[in-house]
């Protein structure tokens, strides 16, 4: 697990500013607009109306796919310009989204079957973004290629994703506390509009960094699995 983490940090080293500039318009900006002007987050199952699901979940995911694909390009090819990475990501997005829809069916069934099978399938298809961005495959080929590359490595990727999820949850809780504390300071002096903005900004920033890190990790794993004879443990070297 440390090998994947170290490989991700090495891939991101020196590129944070560029990756953030590329990803932010499709993640941070979208999240802020939806948070400030979209429907309120659901508090109960009855609140998950089609409109809420569309604006709070579907729209950010669709637009955020561009960031995932562009980051995968830049992590794999640091010398490539952001403009080229974005154009390539936009061109690959239809195939990537269709592949994601194909994957969603068995993953959903897997979650219904005691959750663990769904998590395993997510791990096996974790590298779909770099496959789409770097190999230019068609939707079904993206699915087949991701499945073939991760054969025998699903358990390793699953554990990494589990640890990553715990890290993200901890980071989210910490950032939520910090955001609430800063927002309350503005509220005390009567600046409620700024307080509301700060309260939305902090989790949106965390979401952007998580999106970048996730795409980078998937790209590092893809690079190791496509190298001759590589295993995930080789990422350390």
C-alpha–C-alpha distance, residues 196 and 198, integer Å: 6
C-alpha–C-alpha distance, residues 195 and 219, integer Å: 37
Q: Is the pLDDT of residue 4 over 80?
A: no
CB of 175 closer than 8 Å to CB of 203: yes
Average pLDDT, the chain: 89
> Does a structural domain hold residue 119?
no
Average pLDDT of the segment spanning 122-148 = 95
pLDDT, residue 228, reads: 52
Give the confidence band of 236 by pLDDT, cuts at 50, 70, 90: very low
Q: Is the pLDDT of residue 11 over 70?
A: yes
Give the confidence band of 40 by pLDDT, cuts at 50, 70, 90: confident
Q: List own/partner pairs for 58-61 with CB under 8 A and 24 or more apart.
A: 59/30, 59/34, 60/27, 60/30, 60/31, 60/34
Write the CA distances from 69 to 4, 11, 66, 161, 195, integer angstroms.
19, 15, 5, 19, 33
Of the ranges 19-33, 44-58, 184-198, which is most confident?
19-33
pLDDT, residue 74, reads: 95
pLDDT, residue 221, reads: 93
At 65-80, the pLDDT tens digits run 999 999 999 999 999 9
> Does a structural domain hold residue 56?
yes
> Does a structural domain hold residue 65?
yes
pLDDT, residue 237, reads: 39
Q: Is the pLDDT of residue 192 over 90?
A: no
Average pLDDT of the segment spanning 182-206 = 86
> Does a structural domain hold residue 122?
no
pLDDT, residue 190, reads: 78
> Does a structural domain hold residue 43?
yes
> Does a structural domain hold residue 19?
yes
pLDDT, residue 121, reads: 95
> Does a structural domain hold residue 114?
no
Total tally of structural domains belonging to the chain? 1
> Does a structural domain hold residue 142?
no
Give the other-Cβ count within 10 Å of 84's Cβ: 14
Average pLDDT of the segment spanning 167-195 = 84
Range of the domain at 208: 2-92+153-236
Look up the pTM and report it.
Answer: 0.89
């Amino acid at each position: 697990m440390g090998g994947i983490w170290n490989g991700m940090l090495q891939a991101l080293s020196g590129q944070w500013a560029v990756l953030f500039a590329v990803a932010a318009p499709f993640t941070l900006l979208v999240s802020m607009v939806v948070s400030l002007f979209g429907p309120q987050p659901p508090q109960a199952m009855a609140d998950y109306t089609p409109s809420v699901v569309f604006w709070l979940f579907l729209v950010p995911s669709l637009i955020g796919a561009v960031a995932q694909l562009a980051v995968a390009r830049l992590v794999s090819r640091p010398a490539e310009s952001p403009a080229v990475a974005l154009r390539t990501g936009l061109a690959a997005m239809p195939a990537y989204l269709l592949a994601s829809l194909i994957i969603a069916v068995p993953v959903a069934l897997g979650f219904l079957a005691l959750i663990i099978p769904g998590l395993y399938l997510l791990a096996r298809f974790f590298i779909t973004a770099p496959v789409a961005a770097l190999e230019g495959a068609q939707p079904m080929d993206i699915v087949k290629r991701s499945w073939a590359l991760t054969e025998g490595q699903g358990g390793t990727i699953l554990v990494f994703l589990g640890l990553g999820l715990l890290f993200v949850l901890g980071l989210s809780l910490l950032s939520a506390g910090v955001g609430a504390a800063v927002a309350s300071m503005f509220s005390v002096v009567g600046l409620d509009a700024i307080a509301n903005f700060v309260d939305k900004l902090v989790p949106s920033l965390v979401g952007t960094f998580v999106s970048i890190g996730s795409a980078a990790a998937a790209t590092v794993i893809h690079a190791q699995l496509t190298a001759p004879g590589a295993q995930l443990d080789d990422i350390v070297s």
